[in-house]
Structure 1
Amino acid sequence: MTLSLIASMSLFALAASLSPGPVNLLSLSSSARYGAKTGLIFVTGATLGFIVLFLLIGFGLHYVIVQLSWITQVLQWSGIAFLLYLSYQLFTDNGELHSEKYHKAPSFMTGAIMQWLNPKAWLASLSGIAAYIPNADATEVMIFACLYLPICWLSLGIWVWIGKILGQYFQSPAKMRLLNKTLAIFLAGSCVLILV
């Protein structure tokens, strides 16, 4: 595995984990309402739930590819197309946040289960594996998961920190648009690294 592939995987993990989504917004909301400790418990559950999902998809995809070896190119280009689509969606997002009210503090299990119900988590797993390791080699799936684990936890932790310290900062659509555009550029850049 080359250093450029590891860097590309890391950029993808950062953009996918840090970009706004249901889990990110709940991380922000829970820490703003219940404190950083509750937010970090939720984030730990969400991170571990995502890694289990990622590994199962990675290993399942490996068996499909062994049976249908021609599918690797299709998966890789489909993954790149999805990443570029996601980049476009982030770049053109209007930055409006619509937060929901939660009646009780989200738990570790809430975080883990939420990832299994989160389309963003499924798409990030499928597109990441298809784009970066289209042959779904077990060692490379494990390396990607090991890169993803701390990046995901720290990225979600940033949303906890924002919720606790700067709760109203990202309520500004202009500031959210700037973050989205920055993440979109990183994500599109990771596509270039795939092809190098």
Structure 2
Amino acid sequence: MNLMISMAAFALAASISPGPVNVVALSSGAQFGLGASLRHVLGATVGFVVLLIFTGFGLHEMLRQYPVLTDLIRWAGMAFLIYLAWKLAMDDGRLNLDKPTHAPSFWHGAAMQWLNPKAWLAAVAGMGAFVADGEARLIGLFALIYFVVCYLSVGCWAYAGAFFGPWLRSPRRIRLFNRSMSALLAGCAVSLLYV
């Protein structure tokens, strides 16, 4: 039981802390509401759990043998975060009712996790701490616990965005919100320089 509590605590600390996936969930919740944002939440959760399972079954060993792959993942993730930050910063905040806009999709959420260096670090650290020997039963248990905790954590960010969404009804407030989210994403990208 202590192992399960430790796994859950690790998953909560890694999943609820600010990061690019959570910032996108917050922004999506504010723009599109909670219901539409749950596709992103589910995609991010599934994407991370698949990464976690692959890591548990040996991907971390490959990354240890070829550290250049870790650097490549980090730089690709930074570039992706900077791109997302730029897109948010350039948004003019006008609500264009003629142009259909969509909340981030399931696949967007899943892909974000694979491009998210924070997710890679959490997967490698978590598997190293709890399932270093690669035991399939423990990998499955950790993945199940992580699925529940990750879904609820990212969902909380989407809910927070939906809660504040009604406040964001003017272009000025939307610009302020988007630029704040842009700064958070850029900060996440810059923090990766020191990992």
TM-score, structure 1 as length reference: 0.63
User: Partner amino acid for 2:53?
Assistant: L
Cα contact 1:116–1:122 (8 A) shared by 2: yes
For residues 6 and 50 of structure 1, the distance between their equivalents in structure 2, rounded to whole angstroms, comes to: 18
2:31 aligned residue: 33
For residues 154 and 100 of structure 1, the distance between their equivalents in structure 2, rounded to whole angstroms, comes to: 27
Residue 151, structure 1, aligned to residue 149, structure 2: yes
For residues 113 and 131 of structure 2, the distance between their equivalents in structure 1, rounded to whole angstroms, comes to: 22
Query: Unaligned regions of 5+ residues in structure 2, if any?
Result: 63-84, 92-100, 168-176, 181-195
Cα contact 2:113–2:119 (8 A) shared by 1: yes
For residues 99 and 143 of structure 1, the distance between their equivalents in structure 2, rounded to whole angstroms, comes to: 39
Which of these residues, 127, 131, 140, is aligned with residue 133 of structure 1? 131
Query: What secondary structure does 1:134 align onto?
Result: coil
Query: Unaligned regions of 5+ residues in structure 1, if any?
Result: 66-97, 174-196
CA-CA distance at 1:136 after TM superposition: 2.0
2:109 aligned residue: 111
Query: What secondary structure does 1:165 align onto?
Result: helix
CA-CA distance at 1:36 after TM superposition: 0.9
CA-CA distance at 1:61 after TM superposition: 5.0
Comparing 124-133 with 158-167, greater Cα deviation is found at 158-167
Over 3 Å off, 4+ runs: none
Which of these residues, 153, 162, 165, is aligned with residue 163 of structure 2? 165
Cα contact 2:56–2:131 (8 A) shared by 1: no
For residues 25 and 86 of structure 2, the distance between their equivalents in structure 1, rounded to whole angstroms, comes to: 11
For residues 136 and 158 of structure 1, the distance between their equivalents in structure 2, rounded to whole angstroms, comes to: 31
TM-score, structure 2 as length reference: 0.63
Query: What RMSD over aligned residues (CA atoms) do the two structures have, in Å?
Result: 2.5
Residue 12, structure 1, aligned to residue 10, structure 2: yes
Cα contact 2:32–2:102 (8 A) shared by 1: no
CA-CA distance at 1:39 after TM superposition: 1.1
